[in-house]
Each structure stands twice: as structure tokens, then as C-alpha cells.
Chains A and B, each alone.
Chain A
Amino acid sequence: MKYRVMHKTSYTGREAVSIGHNQAWLEPRSISGQQVESFSLRIEPEPSIRSRQTDYFGNSVTLFSFNEGYQKLDVTATSFVTVLDQGSGANAPLAGQPWESAAELLRTHREESILRAYEFVFSSPRVNWNAEMKAYAVQSFPTGRCLLDGVRELTQRIHTDFAYDPRATTVTTPVQDAFRIRRGVCQDFAHIEIAMLRSLGLAARYVSGYLRTYPPEGQPRLVGADASHAWLSVYCGGEIWIDVDPTNNKFASTDHITLAWGRDYSDVPPLSGVFIGGGQHRLTVSVDVLPLPSKDVIRSKS
């Protein structure tokens, strides 16, 4: 499936911002199952300096800063991405194994891919857990249950037990609070499921990206009505990670476009920055995920 994704962030301050330093994780990762045909990041006004770097987790991040004041800032990321169907992941080395052996493998083996995955077993700035969260998780992971079945059931339970409520949490709500009130948005659900899997010694990472949305039958697709999305990825042995989306109770397929991953939101916010001045300000974000007919794929490849 090929997409054109446009992600526009606008910042408007009542007074001029005097100095600003920013980081953007807005470039889709090129990974197996996802090809990035093109990416552009337009920043207005033109920053004094910008550079593209690779972060610790292998994501590409753009740093940019302003020496001159500005009252309005527009950051527009445009990507053309092809997402391939990776199948169910049922063939992954650990998918059919008891979950305990996955945890054991992570703890004891030092091969490169396992070691890299082990990093995602520990608590991180935004993801930690308490006994109640672990107890919730254990219900889906009785002794000997195979890893993928446990993940599927846990995802489904979170989807059922938790209410989608954008007013209940903010971007800084601690994961344990979101768990307690059983409400939140995709970011909270991802953090909650990551915390639960880690409480069992399993490796789970946070994925920032976009989701293709389907307009209700008979209605046109609304441009810009989409949003940033977040889900998680579970290590299933070898080089294989399986993406699950507790917000929508599904395994990721060709509808999910990956931007970046990290231990949690704090490693890969789409846009973060520090600025001085600006007075009261407003931040608006619009995302447009446009599926392209396949002939476009051919044209752009030619």
C-alpha cells in the first residue's frame, strides 16, 4: 500500500519567540516492510541552522534552531511511503513458544538482536509498572501460554477495558494514572501495554507513526482529519518484532506507517522544542494520510 502523508505542526505565539531549539522525529523509518520513497521537511520561517542525525535507536531526527524571533512556526513533513503486508508474524521464532522462554532468552542470550531487544525490557522515563498492572497482565499470560496468544489477548482486553477519551489524559499523564482511570488515547494504551509486557520480562517498544483511517461509508475522506498515532512492538525472536495496536485491537498491517521507535514517547516525540518568549501560544497539528492508487507507485518509481 502506498501513501502520501502530510503532517503539519503550527505554532503561533502572541508575542515573538526570541530563541528556539527543536528536534523532530518526523521522517519515516526505512525498514523491512516499509519503503520510504521520499521525505521532505519544510520549516517556515527558515531556521538558522538544521541538521539531520541518527539517534541512539536508529531513527532519523532533524534538529533545527532559530536565532531570529518568530511569531509563527510551520513544520510540514511530507512522506511517500510504501507499506507491505508482513503477514501475521505467526512464523516468528518465539511467537509459538511459551512466553516464559522468551523472557528467559532475553535475560540470558547475548546475540546482537536479542541484546538489542533486551534494552526494551526495562522501565524507561515514561513507562514503569506496579503490582496491579503486573497482575492485570498475568491473567493473559498463564504458565506456558504461547507468546503471541498472550499478546493478542492482552491487546484485546486493553481495547475492551479502557475507554478512548482524549480529555482524560494529557501528553504528560503518568502511565500508572492512565491505568488506574482506565482511560486515555493511543499513547496511553501503548504505554500501558508496554509496561505490562515488560513487567513479565518481555521486550516491548513504543512506535510513533500514522494510521490510515477509513471514512464512513458513502462519505468523502476528510483531508487533515487524521492524527499522529502510537502503538507498540513486541520482540518475537530473531530479527522479528510484531506490531500491535491496542487502540484498535489489531495487529499492524498495511494501515500502519512507522515513523520512529524508542522506549516510550519521550524518546521519539514528533516535535519537541525549547523556546524563550512567545507569551501565550497555540499549537495545532494536522495529519493527512492519503492512500495512493497503485499507478502512482509505478509512476513515482519510474
Chain B
Amino acid sequence: MSTGTTPDTGSARLFQCPDTVFDEVYEADGRVRAHWQRLLHAFRQLSQNEFLRRNEQADRTLRENGVNFHAFADTAGAARPWRLDLFPLVIPSIEWAQVETGLAQRARLLNAIIRDIYGPQNLVREGLLPPELVFGNPEFMRAFWQLQPTELNPMFLYAAELARSPNGQWLVMADRSEAPAGPGFALENRIVSSRTIPSAFKQIPVERIAAFFVHLQNSLRRRAPRNSENPRTVLLTHGPTHRYYFEDVYLARYLGYTLVEGADLAVRNDCVFLKTLSGLLPVDIILCRSAESGLDPLELGANAAFGVPGLLNAVRTGNVAIANTPGCGIVGAPVFMAFFPQICEHLFGEPLQMPSIPTWWCGDPNSMAQVRDRFDTLVIKPAFQKSGGEEIIVSDLTKSDREALLNRIQTQPWIFVAQEKIARSGVPVWHESGIRCGHVAVRAFMVEDESHFRLMPGGLIRIAPDTGPMQLSVSAGDGSKDMWVLAEGKVDKVTLLAPGDQPAELRRTSALFPSRVADNLFWLGRTIDRCDFLSRVIRSLAERLLGDSSVEPLEVRFLARVLSEQGQLEPGFVVDGLESQLPALADAFPLAVFDSSEVGGLANSVSELTRLSSLVRDWLSPDTWQRIHHTAEAFQISPTHEWNDLADVVLTTNRLIGNLASVSGLISDGMNRGPSWRFLELGRSIERAGATARLLLTADLKGPTSSPAILKTLVEVLDVQMTYRFRYRDQLQRNAVLDLAITDETNPRSLVFQIERLVSHVDRLPGAETRPLRSEDMRLVMHCAHAVRMLTTEDLAAQVPRNVVNALRSVEEGMASLSNTLTRKYLVHSGTPRQITDFIGGAP
């Protein structure tokens, strides 16, 4: 298909599938399959340009929502954006209903096997499951033994990786039983596709997927250990370094659960609590999106360093429910698929309805013989790896490599499985160059509803560019698609919002404010202001280095010293005789500004902005988060230009200052004045007051006069030029500058203004009202306020302004102590857990 054509569907074929695969759109005789006709008709109404525009719009929406694997990454560019192809995959509801029946049986089967493995182990005893699959399986954790709930299914959420084989039959390629990733991505795909192609979505009756999440909530609620009207549920994430962190944040927000990491939880008397600023709050249900092997360092050892000590015993005692129950992961290993048919017959007396990809366990001599016979057509995998792992396509190997592989298998046959290669079905995929055939991987999601399982009427579609085996993780493949299950009759519109006829109970706070979040918001506040301050100093210096001879070396040296104290510049540039070094400084400066390895430098602080805002993403408004994200991105794109010179520095810092101002605007206009705002503001004011005090101290006020050049620079960096000019014209007087910078309550950049704000913030911190005397943090901030407030006009105008210098020192030290005190008191509830290691000395 050439680029010149619209995705026209009238008579010409939209795309060509290889003959060896199942064509999702066309019958063998070239007719469009009935369930695709309405979609193709709807697409025919879009011009090609319109189609292109909407595709771009979808990409943009996803990017702005920050949909990617890795909310942030250490190295720039490691985060991969999510791509959505606008052609949905269309499935008739009758066909999806069959898949539901098959997968429901499979979910039941998996649950029975999990329960047996971590319980009586009858399947092993009765010869239905080789003991090697349990005893020799590194994923079999003895600590999970007998942890399964007695009445509920251990696995309430389940995903199956599906492929359609050339004969049209759906096959399960893999089972995801631990903490299946993807339902959030499926939801996001649906939201974006329904907004981007609204006309098609309205014309065609598509099953809504929100009901799936309602079932998920209900099912979780039924797991509450106590009879609690409103059990507290948290979503446990592995944290921002995990590649599906985006989805964790997304789901927590959508489902209304508090997003927590292991360090946010604590176990006391076998009960689980969330550590919040106002104390410990009991937790009833944990929706676990973190690896089960990392849950509890007490019972699972060093691999669980980020887990919650004592958590497993809290489950065992019945005080908290974790879903899926730890232990579910084991049946997700490919080796189990080889035994499902027999076990299904044995346990349920019925055949397995949904076939798996043909799988042989090499540990069984008969299976091994078959593997040897058809070796060249198979794919070899580790038997016990839950998430797929290394895949070896035998036909890709040389003859000698094949022999080596066969030998490797024969030395430890039980750790390998062999699977057939399946050519996945074909669908049209939009590319810049036109429409191509892509191959479909479907991740289908099931959730327990009362006693049976429901299938999400939709799913996550990933596209493989060719027919070879594709990795099974959510992030693999070449883009993604929405899946439309055609509804029979009227579409049931479900929403997760509360019913409109019942007024909500009014609240002023959301009680759950984890200490870790306060910590990150505090540092985010500090970093925003640090970036602003550094940019202003850098901009002033760059302008002077760029400028003509009228610039005094004194100014350059002053600014260079300020930056060197902040860690942005090497101290070597600050020594006397700077004049001779000016060319070297002008060369080195742009590099230093954009070097993110310079700890304390601007580039490093900007990366911190991204990192910290990712950590608290669910506590910021989407606009604020996007703005911060943009701000950092705009700065980070600059160094990729080849012409990194001083003009570039000025341009970039200008833009950064403007962008940061709009971040501040969003925070002050939109952020609710709760504890999250307060901690962010505490961080900002502490940073700003500390930096201003340090700047003034660096300006060296001890002498009888200050150079007008330095005063001009101060006025510029402190961003008070306009006020100064209105009040005093161009006459630069030291006392007037000091007044503006320190004691002027009307200037938001003055020390007194920032410190008064700190007083009011500290006064409203949790627990402040119940203590008899002033707390340490309050005393510190009041001491600073006092030091600044007691300055007189004479002090400011003194020949040697000793009192001013002392006050500035008090503020500088006070801010550092305040930061430490707050951190100790509110923020770092938890140290790093350590292991007691006993020792055994043997009697010789």
C-alpha cells in the first residue's frame, strides 16, 4: 500500500498478511470479515491527513500523560514511550465469551494447583505433577507454605498471553499469575483511542472495560480480614525504578488506593500499618504489584531488602490480606503448561478448554525423546522462570550450536522446556510509510467476581513486526493497540465514580499522607528553588562573560565564587588574577552548566526535578507534573545541540526560569493547602532563605563600602531590579539593597518574607498544637525570624554592618539545622532494615 492512499477500505485490501498466518480482517476469499466491516467503514470517513493528525495526537497525549516504561531513568532516553496504533483489534463478543469460559476454567485450575503446591501437595503424591516442578523449582518458597486463604482464591487477578494460531484457534502462550502487568495500559489505550477517534467509537457498540475494575475493587474488598465497612487498601509498588511504575501510579489513582512502597509500611503486633505524618494507620488489604519474593526480608532474606519485615506473619495471622496471595507466581512458569490437561481432567473431570502452546518438559524421558525428534522446529526456554526468560529459537542456531544446546539440556533436562513456534495472526498496523501487517499478542485479564472469574471485555494488544516468537513482557513488541469487543445490543456504561444520588461525606484532608511522600515533596520544593536560584546566577555570569569590556572583573569573580560555593564551578576559577582566566572560564562554563555529573550543579538539580516529581507524581496535579516534566525536558534537550556556547546558556537559563515560574504558578494557584503543599513550601522557603543568606555573605559586606558593580549584581540575581528602580532610581546604595534583600516584608524574595512563611508552616505541622513548649523546629525558625527582625536601619547603614553579617550567619545556619530537624522528626521514620546474622562456630 502506498502512502498516497487513505486507509481506504472499499475494494482494495488494506494490507497483506503472509499466507501462513491467520488474517484477522479478511476471509480466505478476500471478503472483509463481518465484525470488521463497521470499523473499516468508520475509518473510510477519515481523510489520510486527518488520520495522520490523529495518530500524532494519540502519540502526544500518551507522551504528555507520561505513559512509558520507567517513569524516569538514570540515563537520558532509557525511558521508552508507549506507542498506540489507532486501528483497534476487533473481536465479536460471542468469540470473546468463549475465551472467557476457557480462561475461567484455567484460572480455577491455576488456583487449585497453587493451593495444592503450598498445601497438601497431593498432585505430586498422585503423580500428576513431577516433584521436580515443586522441590527443584527455585521459585517454590517454603515461607509461603500454608499462607493461602481457606475460602478465597489465592489468585484473584490473572492474565493470559494469547496468540491466534494459523487455524484460528486461540492459544495461551503464557500465564501471568503473580502480579499481572497491563490492565492499566489497556485502560489508558482505551481512553486515548476513544478520544482520538470518537466518531468510530460512537458508531460501533464497543464493550466498556470499566466494569472490570469495579469487579476488581469488589473482589479485593471481600478479602478484608476484619468486618470492616471501609477496609483500607493500599497498592504496593516496587517503586519508581520499576519499569511498570507508571501503571502502578495510574491504577492507584484510578482505583482510589494509596500508592505505597515497602518502606511506607510497618508491622506492629502482626498487624500492618501505613506510616503517615500523623502516625500509623492500619492497613487491611494490599494489592501487590511488587515481586512476591521481595515482600518480607525477615522470612525471604536479603533478596527482600525493600520489603516489610514481619509482613508474611501478618498474613499468616490473618490480620492483612495480600492479593494475589504470595505463592501464586510459581504456576506462571512455562513448565506447568505441559501438565495442565491431565490435572484438569483429574481435578475437574473435564478437558482443558483453552489449549496452551504445545509444551514439553525435558525432564520427562518420553517428552525429551519427542523434543529430540523435532528439535529444529522448537523454542527452548528455562522451565521455571515466571516471566519467560531466555528464549532460544533452535532454527536460528548453527549446527554445532544446536548440538551444544542439546548437550546442555541433557545434563540438566528438568530445568528446560521446549515449545512449538506459533505464527501469530496478522492485523493492519499504521506506519509512516503506509499500512503494514503486524502480528498480534493479546494479554487478556481475568478478575475474580464472587466465585467465578470475569474476563475484561478488552485487553492489551501488542504488535510484533514479524512472525517469530515475541518476548512475553508487556513492554516488548512494536507498539500497542486498543481491543474492541463488539457488544451485542446496548452497551452497559459503568463508571468508577460514586453514584450521583448520594452526597459524599465532606472532608478537608485525605488522611493518608505517607511520610515518604512528605520527604520527597520537601526535597522537590528545595530543588525547584535551587534550580531557580542557580539559573539566575548562571544567567548573570553568562551575560557578563558574553558582554563587552564594560563588565568589571569584580562582578565576574563574585558570581564565579557564588557558583563555586554551590558546587557548580571549580574553585580554580575564583582565585585572584581571574582576568587572565576569562577566556578559559568562558569556554568551560557552558560545559559545566550542562554537565549532569556535577553534583550540586544545575543540570544535576534539573534531573533531580524529574526524579523527585516522578516519586510524588500522584500527589501533584497532572498539569503540574507535566509542567515539571516539560521544564526538565526543555533544559535537557539543549546540550544535544553542538553549539553549546554562552549564548546558549543564556537562552536555556532564561527558558528554565520562565518554566519554573509557571510551575510555581500552578503550585500556588492549584495545589490544595494540605500537608503535601506545606512540605513542598517548607522546602522552597528553606532553600530560598538559605541561598539568599549565603549570596549576601559571599558579597563580602565587611568593608566600609560595597562596589556598585556587586550591588547591581545582587539586585539582578535577587530579581528586585524593578522595585529598586521605582524606589531609588539608579542610585545604588548598600543599605537600600540590604533592606530589599533582608528586611522588606513586602518583597517576596526577602529573607524576612521567607522566614515568616516558615514560621506559619512550622506552626501548622502535625502535632504542633498538642505540645506544651515550642518544638525544636519552631525554636530554630523563630530564632532566625528574631535575628532578621531585630535589625535596625542603623545596622543596615553601618560602615561595617557587623549585625547584618551576624544575622545572615544565623539564617544560613538556621536553615541547615531546620532542614535536618524536619527530616529527623517527620520524614525519615524508617532507617534501612538490617539483618541479624547469627553465626555457628563448630566444635572442632
Contacts and interface: CB of A to CB of B under 8 A. Distances in A.
Interface of A: 9, 11, 18-19, 21-23, 48-49, 51, 53, 55-57, 63, 65, 67, 110, 112, 115, 118-119, 121-122, 125, 164, 166, 170-172, 185-187, 189, 208, 211, 213, 226-230, 247-248, 265-267, 269-278, 283, 285
B354 to A, nearest CB: 29
Given A115-B124, A273-B298, A247 B844 contact: yes
B139 to A, nearest CB: 12
Nearest to B830: A276
A186 B843 contact: yes
Interface in B302-317: 309-310, 313, 316-317
A166 B841 CA distance: 7
Contacts of B299: 23
Contacts of A9: 838
Q: How large is the interface on B (under 10, 10 to 19, 20 to 34, 35 or more residues)?
A: 35 or more
A65 B301 CA distance: 17
Interface in B125-145: 125-127, 131-132, 135-136, 142-143, 145
Interface stretch (B230-238, B265-273, B425-433): B265-273
Contact of A274 (B268, B270, B833, B838): B833
A63 B313 contact: yes
Contacts of B498: none
A268 to B, nearest CB: 10
Interface of B: 124-127, 131-132, 135-136, 142-143, 145, 266-270, 297-299, 301, 309-310, 313, 316-317, 830-844
Contacts of A189: 842
B842 A275 contact: no
B838 A269 contact: yes
A224 to B, nearest CB: 12
Nearest to A228: B840
Contacts of A248: 843-844
13 contacts: A19-B266, A51-B317, A53-B316, A56-B142, A67-B268, A122-B132, A122-B136, A164-B844, A186-B840, A227-B843, A229-B843, A230-B842, A269-B837
Contact of A164 (B832, B837, B842): B842
Given A67-B268, A118-B135, A272-B835, 5 more contacts: A51-B270, A110-B127, A229-B842, A270-B838, A275-B834
Contacts of B135: 118-119, 121-122
B225 to A, nearest CB: 17
Contacts of A275: 833-834, 836
B298 A272 contact: yes
Given A57-B142, A112-B125, A274 B841 contact: no
B143 to A, nearest CB: 8
Contacts of A22: 298, 836
B189 to A, nearest CB: 40
Given A48-B269, A56-B142, A56-B145, A272 B310 contact: no
Contacts of A65: 267-269, 310
Given A19-B266, A48-B268, A112-B125, A266 B836 contact: no
A39 to B, nearest CB: 18
A267 B142 contact: yes
Contacts of A208: 840
A230 B838 contact: no
A272 B124 contact: no
A118 B842 CA distance: 28
A185 B267 contact: no
Nearest to B311: A21
5 shortest interchain CB distances as A-B pairs? A186-B842, A273-B836, A56-B142, A274-B309, A122-B136
